[in-house]
Structure 1
Amino acid sequence: MDIDMSVKPFVKWAGGKYKLFEQIRDKLPVELNKGEIKCYYEPFLGGGAMFFKLVQQYKFDSIFLSDLNEELVLTYKVVQQNVFDLLDYLSQYKRKYDKLSDKDKEAYYYEMRTSYNMQRFNVNFNKYSDFYIPRAAQMIFLNKTCYNGLFRQNLKGEFNVPFGKNFNVQIVDANNLINISTILQNTELRCTDFSSSFGNLEKDSFVYFDPPYSPVSKTSNFTSYCKDSFYYKDQLRLSNLFRKLDKSGAKLMLSNSYVENNDIMSELYDGFCFSYIYSQKTMPSIVSKRGKVKELLITNY
């Protein structure tokens, strides 16, 4: 795929790698630059920053993207299949939002959030329909206007992020969405657990794993920003899958947290290659706590 366009994630997602790609690029398999990698897999898609960076620089014959978050995959599929209808809805929301006072914008946000949560019972996530389009538009609107651009669900599956006081936010980025739609025409999108994201993996494949990170302290829990949490048992399943896929000859890369004096990752991925990158915390509400964080990159090459 030859992409002559600049694209960026259209939703903000916890753990996004958009600003870290320059560090990650130096640790990508050399086979990418040689044109020997034909297939790309990303089973924790999230905001898609890694995918969007890679697809603009490398050519793949096949691309397989997946995530367990049903709302996220629904939105990607709408961008893929009905981007202009999606833009119509987003433009309607933007026109109404821009006309409101700051107080009324907050009220409009909560009206939208309530509607979004109520309508989730009408969604058939297994069958694409026109109903997906306004729902995807709502999801993008909420992501742009909620607190810190965070997507978070409670155990009931309700989106529960408060209003972010984003009174002058870019709700519609038409060129970016149209360009992303073009890119997604050549991808397979699936809503599935990471363990079900692979068929017969070939050695000319590259897989990037960016799971919910392991806890950074003994008092932390394995958590995620959706109703389906990611626990130690899932980290263990993932490490077992990593070892299984390694036998195929495919190139594998996995991101995770670095915790000093914590041997969880070194035990789970013993025998593989460890390197480090440095990210900037963005999620804490207190700016002074948004310091540099050391992260792991684990590869089988």
Structure 2
Amino acid sequence: MKSVVRYGYVPFMLLGVDGAAAALAATGASKLWLVALLAVAISCSFAAERVLPYEAEWNRPAGDGARDVAHAGVNELLLLAGVGAIPLLAATVTVADLWPHSWPFALQVLAAVLVADLGITLTHYASHRIGVLWRFHAVHHSVTRFYGFNGLMKHPLHQALETGVGVAPLVLVGLPLDVASALAVTVAVQLLLQHSNADYRVGALKYVLALNEGHRFHHLKWAGVGDVNFGLFTLVWDHLLGTFSYDPGRRFTSGQLGMAAKPHYPTGYLAQLAEPFRASGACHAGSAVPDPDRRERAVA
């Protein structure tokens, strides 16, 4: 079973779950089927993490279980609501219907993924450099255990910004509702994979796909050290931006995650929603201690 998870979990999620989402969306199935599919993906995420954990400690709640459920529930409902608003947005802001409707549906979804990946990656990159954006993004970086559900733990305003920037170019050229529905599921699945505590393997694809082996470096808590590997779906833009980082010898623990400059960041759901609006919500990188394990990273 461990070997199945190690080598089969990622193909199952990317080809099986995402493929099923595309098939359901292409047939115009009820959005409830997509919600059910997402529930299956979340269940598989938890199961894989228990069969083959990278760090067993991260499978145990640390007073954050209810908070993470609240974040995931609210954010996924908002994402689905955003998808439901696509027809209205398309009717009001579409510049020209340039969408490749004649392409096979799977290719349309893939095109949407690649375009959204650029907008989301650049927004993520900016959120580490612009103070007001970091205030909201810091909620996501407050985690000290790295497991799939963490991917769905974001301040709703920051998620709305990332999603909006990622989807806006698509809407302008006539993104169909069924493609948007499939895209919403692929985003959620990718976040589960990217933050997964499952010790899976993807070989050389770890240099191209934005999965957990690379994304753990993004959650290192020291100033500047975690400003790497911003991509959601791919690491292509990180290679071009010079922000790709990978060290095969690095082993991660809870003590290396979070924010060194804000070790006492609020942990409650409502407190995290309010923190960006408080004076204490600012986080000055200069106050952080340096990475004690800093060494030359192997960059491909």
**TM-score, length-scaled by structure 2:** 0.29
Q: Which has the higher helix share?
A: 2
**TM-score, length-scaled by structure 1:** 0.29
Q: Specify which structure has the bigger relative contact order, considering alpha-carbon pairs within 8 angstroms and separated by 6 or more residues.
A: 2
Q: Which has the higher strand share?
A: 1
